[in-house]
């Protein structure tokens, strides 16, 4: 079926509501828009669905959500006889239509005879991950598009271990979804009928109590909080998302007394009216918080994204400037804090392990070496960290200490199997309070790490390429640098290429190829001389290709100059690829 035939089918189908038909009729003279909405189905990948809200097969709407849920239901029924009774947990964040999509998914599952545990209000991603295991579910669904702009929403699927579906299982679900007719094959019922039948079970605050009790168990220095609480001040913003209730509650329960809130950003709002983007990776998201910090003389700010799985931190330098710490910086600070705190009380296990992704800073490696702790690198995506936690528990081989990725996601504890900004908020605040007792800010603590381990700095170049043309351009860029790797990047010679798509590491000087133990993924990582590196990967959730850079130098200025030159070198290389 062509995209135009698909468009016409939606306009004529009795299964499509009149509001959707009106939206489609309004673009009848915009051929490019019709093509973009219908040239493909919204892709179901290892992160589930994520797309622009609107009518069409390549959009997030009730029809694509119901089709996907029917595919998931068929997968459960075909592969897990006990799955109907185990059930599926569903939660959602503050995005536009998140609550609607959650209820539609619940109704499809109930119509297929599958038990559902449906959240009675928005809740964060890590709590959904926890709830899957708390109720013993076969799967979980989280309606969210994380930190994407307001026009996006998404649908993430979790396995029975509370982690996002691994690639092999996602592929099986996708194969079923592709065979499912978006209108003819979908079963559904009303929400009232689902509840009356006992198949849709609504959960609420009672689950929060259990989840937060697990979070509190991850405290490392409760005494430091107790001593600092009267004077130590912080600012928190939930950026209109789902972190407001759980983050404020955990901070209160562990004893923090001076938590200032960005009032304009407390209420959930999927239009995110006070920010350009609800992304704690971007300093502009903290403009209002910084204004408040200057007014109240506060040097520590943090904020969580809409689904509360990522956290960003802003600190004040000695000269009064407020700077945003990168995910790599916070990861290094947490690594030092977790390991040093556990060592101080003789609770650092011999088999302790820190897990991070292949595009994350190598400063934590230096920290872990100093403490005799193993570091494991996994593919980008927290599901791979979750898989390692499961593997450790089954084998009893390692003790998980901390997992994180450069994109502002952290997890201490095994109560969740996804990044958790609730536990991260508690521990980062505790860490800041701990250093405050030494008359140090988190910025001071970072400078101390640089003195101890070397100045590691990283940079991200993210290039957005939307539409059909963008997809093809991203493919050409990856093929170009894979087949013709650069010999030099700025002043650095390129020595090794790790191509994770074929699980190999090639010595570019000798041509020797050795295997690596990572699942195949479209990621390229280049090792350069001088402790520098860069990596390239297409985003799995956005129309972007991302380049990651890292270096080590004698000072911040030298490291930043090196990163500038490396980034320009790769940008020039990209410009030559047609």
Question: CB 291: neighbour CB atoms within 10 A?
Answer: 13
Residue 2 has phi, psi (to 5 degrees) of -75, 165
384 shares its domain with 292: yes
Q: What is the pLDDT of residue 372?
A: 97
Instruction: Name the DSSP letter for residue 53.
Output: B
Q: Which domain holds residue 66?
A: 43-211
Domain presence at residue 301? yes
Output the six-digit token pair for 38: 């219908």
Q: What is the pLDDT of residue 469?
A: 87
Please give the Cα distance from 162 to 382 (Å, whole number).
Answer: 11
Residue 528 near residue 520 (C-beta atoms within 8 A): no
Residue 356 near residue 331 (C-beta atoms within 8 A): yes
442 shares its domain with 489: no
Q: What is the pLDDT of residue 258?
A: 98
Question: Looking at 388, 423, 453, which one is the last position of a domain?
Answer: 453
Domain presence at residue 218? no
DSSP string, 470-506: HHHHHHHHHHHHHHS--SEETTEEEEEEEETTTTEEE
567: helix, strand or coil: helix
State pTM to two decimals: 0.94
**C-alpha closest to that of 148 among 410, 571, 464:** 464
Classify 503 in phi/psi space as left (phi over 0), alpha (psi -120 to 50) or beta.
left
137 shares its domain with 125: yes
60 shares its domain with 157: yes
- Residues identified as active-site: 146
Please give the Cα distance from 185 to 72 (Å, whole number).
Answer: 13
322 shares its domain with 300: yes
Q: What is the pLDDT of residue 467?
A: 82
Q: What is the pLDDT of residue 46?
A: 67
Domain presence at residue 216? no
CATH number at residue 105: 3.40.120.10
Question: How many domains, in total, are found in the chain?
Answer: 4
Using 70 as the pLDDT threshold, list the residues of the chain that sit under it.
46, 541, 578
Residue 337 near residue 424 (C-beta atoms within 8 A): no
Domain presence at residue 162? yes
Q: Could you tell me how far CA 302 lies from the centroid of its own chain? A: 17
**Residue bearing tokens 């860490």:** 431
364 shares its domain with 470: no
**C-alpha closest to that of 405 among 294, 328, 313, 316:** 328
Please give the Cα distance from 440 to 453 (Å, whole number).
Answer: 18
432 shares its domain with 331: yes
Q: Which segments within 8-107 are labelled E, that is strand?
A: 49-52, 88-92
Residue 143 near residue 101 (C-beta atoms within 8 A): yes
192 shares its domain with 168: yes
Q: What is the pLDDT of residue 236?
A: 98
Residue 422 near residue 124 (C-beta atoms within 8 A): yes
CATH number at residue 488: 3.30.310.50
Question: Looking at 453, 484, 519, which one is the last position of a domain?
Answer: 453
Residue 294 near residue 317 (C-beta atoms within 8 A): no
Work out the burial of residue 303: count CB atoms within 10 Å of its CB; fewer than 13 is exposed, 13-18 middle, 19 or more buried.
buried
What is the percentage of the chain residues whose pLDDT exceeds 90?
93
485 shares its domain with 432: no
DSSP string, 333-351: HHHHHHHHHHHHTT---TT
Question: Looking at 453, 483, 503, which one is the last position of a domain?
Answer: 453
**Residue bearing tokens 């958790």:** 420
Residue 435 has phi, psi (to 5 degrees) of -70, -30
Distances in Å between the Cα of 569 and the Cα atoms of 196, 247, 530 are 63, 42, 16
Q: Which tens digits make up the pLDDT trace of 204-256? A: 999 999 999 999 999 999 999 999 999 999 999 999 999 999 999 999 999 99
Domain presence at residue 217? no
92 shares its domain with 205: yes
**C-alpha closest to that of 441 among 317, 313, 296:** 317
548: helix, strand or coil: strand
473 shares its domain with 517: yes
Q: Which tens digits make up the pLDDT trace of 528-549? A: 998 999 999 998 767 899 999 9
DSSP string, 85-141: HH-EEEEE-SSTTHHHHHHHHHHHHHHTT--EEEESS---HHHHHHHHHHTT-SEEE
Please give the Cα distance from 565 to 558 (Å, whole number).
Answer: 11
543: helix, strand or coil: coil
Give 276-329 as a 3 state SS string: CCCCCCCHHHHHHHHHHHHHHCCCEEEEECCCCCEEEEEEECCCCCEEEECHHH
Residue 101 near residue 131 (C-beta atoms within 8 A): no
Domain presence at residue 303? yes
Domain presence at residue 317? yes
Determine how β-strand 259-261 pairs with β-strand 234-237: parallel
The residues that bridge with 303 in the sheet, in sequence order, are 237, 312
Question: CB 264: neighbour CB atoms within 10 A?
Answer: 14
Please give the Cα distance from 524 to 97 (Å, whole number).
Answer: 36
Domain presence at residue 220? no
466 shares its domain with 556: yes
């Amino acid at each position: 079926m062509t995209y135009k035939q698909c468009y016409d089918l939606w306009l004529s189908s009795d299964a499509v509501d009149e509001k959707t038909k009106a939206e489609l009729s309004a673009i009848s003279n915009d051929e490019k828009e019709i093509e973009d909405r219908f040239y493909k189905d919204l892709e179901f990948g290892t992160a589930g669905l994520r797309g622009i809200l609107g009518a069409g097969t390549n959009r997030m709407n009730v029809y694509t959500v119901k089709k996907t849920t029917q595919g998931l239901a068929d997968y459960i029924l075909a592969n897990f006889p006990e799955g109907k009774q185990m059930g599926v947990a569903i939660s959602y964040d503050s995005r536009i239509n998140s609550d609607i999509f959650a209820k539609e998914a619940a109704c499809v599952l109930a119509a297929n005879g599958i038990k559902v545990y449906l959240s009675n209000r928005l809740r964060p991603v890590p709590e959904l991950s926890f709830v899957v295991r708390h109720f013993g579910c076969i799967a979980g669904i989280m309606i969210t598009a994380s930190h994407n702009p307001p026009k996006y929403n998404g649908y993430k699927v979790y396995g029975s271990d509370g982690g996002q579906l691994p690639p092999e299982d996602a592929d099986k679900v996708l194969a079923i979804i592709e065979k499912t007719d978006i209108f003819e094959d979908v079963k559904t019922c009303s929400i009232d009928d689902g509840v009356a039948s006992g198949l849709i079970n609504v959960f609420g605050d009672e689950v929060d109590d259990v989840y937060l009790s697990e979070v509190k168990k991850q405290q490392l220095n409760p005494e430091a909080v107790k001593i600092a609480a009267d004077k130590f001040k912080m600012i928190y913003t939930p950026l209109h998302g789902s972190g407001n209730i759980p983050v404020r509650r955990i901070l209160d329960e562990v004893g923090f007394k001076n938590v200032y809130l960005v009032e304009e950003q407390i209420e959930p709002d999927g239009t995110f009216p006070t920010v350009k983007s609800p992304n704690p990776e971007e300093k502009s998201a903290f403009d209002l918080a910084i204004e408040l910090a200057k007014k109240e003389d506060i040097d520590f700010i943090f904020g969580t994204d809409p689904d509360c799985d990522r956290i960003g931190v802003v600190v004040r330098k000695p000269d009064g400037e407020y700077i945003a710490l990168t995910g790599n910086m916070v990861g290094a600070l947490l690594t030092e804090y977790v390991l040093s705190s556990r060592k101080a009380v003789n609770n650092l296990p011999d088999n302790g392990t820190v897990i991070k992704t292949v595009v994350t800073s190598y400063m934590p490696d230096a920290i872990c070496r100093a403490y005799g702790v193993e570091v494991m690198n996994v593919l980008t995506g927290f599901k791979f960290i979750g898989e390692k936690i499961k593997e450790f528990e089954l084998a009893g081989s390692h003790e998980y200490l901390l997992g994180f990725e450069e994109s502002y996601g952290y997890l201490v504890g095994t109560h969740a199997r996804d990044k958790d900004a609730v536990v991260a908020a508690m521990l980062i605040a505790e860490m800041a309070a701990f250093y405050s007792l030494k008359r140090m800010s988190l910025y001071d603590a970072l400078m101390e790490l640089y003195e101890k381990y070397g100045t590691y700095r990283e940079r991200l170049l993210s290039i957005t390429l939307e539409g059909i043309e963008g997809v093809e351009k991203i493919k050409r860029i990856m093929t170009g640098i894979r087949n013709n790797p650069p010999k030099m990047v700025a002043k650095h010679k390129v020595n090794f290429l790790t191509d994770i798509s074929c699980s190999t590491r090639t010595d570019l000087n000798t041509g020797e190829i050795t295997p690596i133990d990572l699942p195949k993924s479209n990621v390229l990582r280049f090792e350069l001389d001088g402790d520098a590196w860069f990596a390239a990967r297409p985003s799995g959730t956005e129309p972007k290709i991302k380049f990651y850079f890292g270096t080590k130098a004698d000072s911040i200025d030298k490291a930043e100059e090196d990163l500038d030159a490396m980034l320009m070198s790769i940008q020039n290389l990209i410009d030559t690829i047609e």
